[in-house]
Amino acid sequence: MKPFWNLHDIFKRISVVNLHHNLNKITMKNIFNYLAILSLFAFNACGQSTKQTALTPKSSPMENTISKPGNPYYSNTDTKKLNVTDAEWKKVLSPDLYAVSRNADTERAFTGKLWDSEAKGTYYCAACGNKLFKSDQKFASSCGWPSFFEQENKNSVVYKEDNSYGMKRIEALCGRCDGHLGHLFDDGPKPTGKRYCMNSIALDFVPDNATIQNGTKDNLETITLGGGCYWCTEAVYEKLDGVQSVVSGFAGGKNENPTYEEVCTGRTGHAEVVKITYDKTKTNLDEIFQVFFTVHDPTTLNRQGADVGTQYRSVIFYKDEEQKQAAQSIISQLNTEKVYDNPIVTTLEPLTKFYVAEDYHQNYYENNKNQQYCQMVIQPKIEKFEKIFKARLKK
């Protein structure tokens, strides 16, 4: 497959877009200084906040199975009862899902993605993947939460008495993980007369007849890249046509199964990276690299803006000689053409092991668009990408 862009043209476009977005050195310095001040109140090294808002569960419609690599307890087929500690649930669930599933919090009415959905498919527990309801068991309700008149099977949902807030109610729990789903009421439609009033965030949904849309297995390839905070890199590549999936994680370190907190110390040797799976019939390695060198600064050693440390290094983890040579070629060309004022410091490292980051790091931008870090740092990168690669965006 031929390159989609001429390098000279694409980096000419970069300089123009930089002006449009005020991403010159002076402006970026001001942004970074502001971020440093904000960090006193809300951010750590990567701007991560422990509070997430407007969480949108991300489903992967492949053979009616959802993939949650950051949650080892998640399965759409295993019905064996789980016995997981609260501390472990807190580690693998997003903060919002943890609050509902483990602390029985309730999302605000009419805010959930699924409350008025009429799509045909299957509903699963968002915490453990247990099958709960089918869409033909759902009915239109004015309460503001997804409502069902019947559960998928007799073991999918279990109950206990709930006397909180001075009320006597029946709490509905996932039959596999005992996670809070909502409540059961006796004001539903026939034939059961029941209303399973569920929190939308506690549910995952997979449409019927879901198939792999982005190519066959033989056409798929992967590449692992580190360009600073993985939230930024993930958000950009999710919009590139031909990219099937982007998973945030860690690579290049000495510790097995590192946690985010461990990597943040800078002592494990890992870099924040994304593993990109793409369809070779729709994009190619050349374009993947062009995007990579467009949306981050490959000339700053162990740093991207306000994010400082070896975990934020610019790095390409190659899995074979072809990827290594392709990376060497584009770096050599960029240096020769003096596209940047300073030499590129991107390292090329063999990929030995990729570790998936915690679940709440996945799809972070989509789930937290109102966060200041998302608005001030990630959004400008996305806008820059969308202008330069306008013709290559997913439809």
- Is 374 considered catalytic here? no
Query: Three-state DSSP class for 390?
Result: helix
Sort strands 243-251 and 271-279 into parallel, antiparallel or unpaired: antiparallel
CB atoms within 10 A of CB 347: 17
345 neighbors 255 (Cβ within 8 angstroms): no
Rg of the chain, C-alpha, whole Å: 23
177 neighbors 83 (Cβ within 8 angstroms): no
CB atoms within 10 A of CB 167: 8
Catalytic residue (choose from 125, 174, 177, 197): 197
∠ at Cα 139 (137, 141), nearest 5°? 145
Residues facing residue 161 across a β-bridge: 170
Query: Three-state DSSP class for 206?
Result: strand
Catalytic residue (choose from 125, 128, 229, 232): 229
Residues facing residue 120 across a β-bridge: none
Cα 123 to Cα 121: distance, rounded to the nearest angstrom: 7
Cα 43 to Cα 352: distance, rounded to the nearest angstrom: 31
Cα 63 to Cα 262: distance, rounded to the nearest angstrom: 35
> What distances in angstroms separate CA 178 from CA 95, 132, 226, 378, 389, one per listed residue?
17, 12, 38, 36, 46
Q: Which string of DSSP letters, residue by residue, matches 232-299?
A: HHHHHHTTBTTEEEEEEEEES-SSSS--HHHHHTT-S--EEEEEEEEETTT--HHHHHHHHHHHS-TT
Cβ-count burial 228-250 (b if 16+ within 10 Å, e if not): bbbbbbbbbbbbbbbbbbbbbbb
Query: Three-state DSSP class for 147?
Result: strand
Helix, strand, coil: what percent of the chain each, to 5? Answer: 30, 20, 45
- Is 197 considered catalytic here? yes
Catalytic residues: 197, 229
